Amino acid sequence: MFVDVAKIKIKAGNGGDGAVMFHREKYVASGGPDGGDGGKGGDIVFQVDTNMSTLADFRYKRKYTAENGEKGQGGRRNGKKGKDLIIRVPKGTIIREVESGAIMADMGAMDTFIAAKGGRGGWGNNHFATPTRQTPRFAKSGTPGESWEITLELKLLADVGLLGYPNVGKSTFISVVSEAKPIIANYHFTTITPVLGVIDMGDENSFVMADIPGLIEGAGDGVGLGHEFLRHVERCRMLVHILDVAGSEGRDPIEDFETINNELAKFNKDLSERPQIVVANKVDLATDEQLQTLREYITSKGYEFMTMCAPIAEGTKEVINTVWNKLQTLPPIKQYESEEIPTEIIVEKADNKFTIDVQDDVYFVEAEWLLKILQRTDLDDYESLQYFQRVLRSSGIIDALLARGIQEGDTVCIYDLEFDFVL
């Protein structure tokens, strides 16, 4: 089954808690604190698997969680790191954060991507010993691992996309010029999944062509298979538009041409501006008048026009050579840039729940939503730091600290961030 969109939830492992332990040994008085740090939580890592061609594996399993880090131990022994969770996806998969729609990664441009980082292990109590606090009876908790709801969207990596109504000869064409073996029959929608074919041009040169299943009117609005296949055209460097010049299905090839291009523009305006070669197929069934009328119309629109009879490979070599020469002048396959997930999204989704724990005049503040904001705050940038301070105040954390009796100069600890409280 061909599946090219999936929505899943991912959760990296939590960091292990630091240990509260004290050195105990015969003849060693006041051994002092020796609690070890917690282990880091496992990451969620996406990895390209060239043997995969669909996202069908994600159809039933929707939640993925990495292993938590282990707690610290005595003797300053750190907890074991949580095991990373590797999730395999086909090459060309786009990873997006659901709420913002931001692109986290394009797996056509990279082989591995850490989508959710494991939480850091908490410090053991040995880190908190000072000349005035010689027996700290507290440690830091591990930080939660990142969690996201994401969509996976497969966009095939192909240099050339074949366009055209059902039964115009796209599958026959790609089977003749490559080793691809699509289903070919004299009825509509024999191709119900995109088919990739590698075209060998000799001297170790080649390019990839995608047979996009037959589009129909309304595809840009999702009619028929609609968006399910139009998304696979988006990466193509150029398009080859195949028309049934003989109108053997009772349709007008000129109307077919305009309809498909309108659907492209409706789905993504850039697609309608992509370089396109128009190929008239089934010339053996067409009259000279039909061929001439179509040629004049297509060339008047500024497109290059070619003819072929795909079943007997007449004209197919000329089409492929023209496509190859055109590709030499075009930029590489489109790659998508990663985007920052807006901090405002996290704030809007926050439930403003937090906890404050006081240990030896240190005020520990914890909130998973606050950690996500902290991880995206550049503490060396004034504006970014000011924004974080506004979040602390607007969420009620500052008021809660004052209610707990915090004084100016007391230490506030928010996960890995420590600072002296200033009114």
The helix/strand/coil state of 127 is: helix
- Region of 222 please: left (phi>0), alpha (psi -120 to 50) or beta: left
Q: What is the pLDDT of residue 1?
A: 44
Please state, in angstroms and as integers, the Cα–Cα distance from residue 40 to each residue in 14, 17, 46, 257, 354, following that order.
Answer: 7, 9, 19, 57, 22
Q: Does domain 342-423 have CATH number 3.30.300.350?
A: yes
Q: What is the pLDDT of residue 222?
A: 44
Is the full-model pTM beyond 0.75? no
Q: Which residues contact 167 (CB under 8 A, 6 or more apart)?
A: 186, 187, 188, 190, 214, 244, 249
Q: Which residues contact 204 (CB under 8 A, 6 or more apart)?
A: none
Q: What is the pLDDT of residue 29?
A: 61
Homologous superfamily, domain 1-155: GTP1/OBG domain (2.70.210.12)
Show the 3-state SS of 335-355.
Answer: CCCCCCCCHHHHHHHCCCCCE
Q: How far is CA 167 from the centre of its chain?
A: 34
* pLDDT tens digit at each of 423 positions of the chain: 456 789 999 999 999 999 988 887 776 666 788 889 999 999 999 999 988 878 888 988 999 999 999 999 988 899 999 999 999 999 989 999 998 889 999 998 899 999 999 998 988 888 878 776 777 887 888 888 989 999 998 887 889 989 888 888 888 899 899 886 644 444 344 444 677 888 999 888 899 998 877 554 443 344 444 445 677 778 889 999 999 999 988 889 999 999 888 888 888 888 888 999 999 999 999 999 999 999 999 999 999 999 999 999 999 999 999 999 999 999 988 888 888 877 666 666 556 788 898 887 789 898 878 887 887 787 788 888 888 888 888 888 999 999 999 988 888 988 878 888 887
Domain 160-327, CATH among 2.20.25.90, 3.40.1350.10, 3.40.50.300, 3.40.800.10: 3.40.50.300
Residue 147, beta-bridge partner list: 11
Where are the chain's structural domains? Answer: 1-155, 160-327, 342-423
Q: What is the pLDDT of residue 346?
A: 65
Q: Running DSSP on this structure, what letter comes out for residue 407?
A: -
Q: How many CB atoms lie within 10 A of CB 111?
A: 11
Asked whether the beta carbons of 7 and 98 are under 8 A apart, the reply is yes
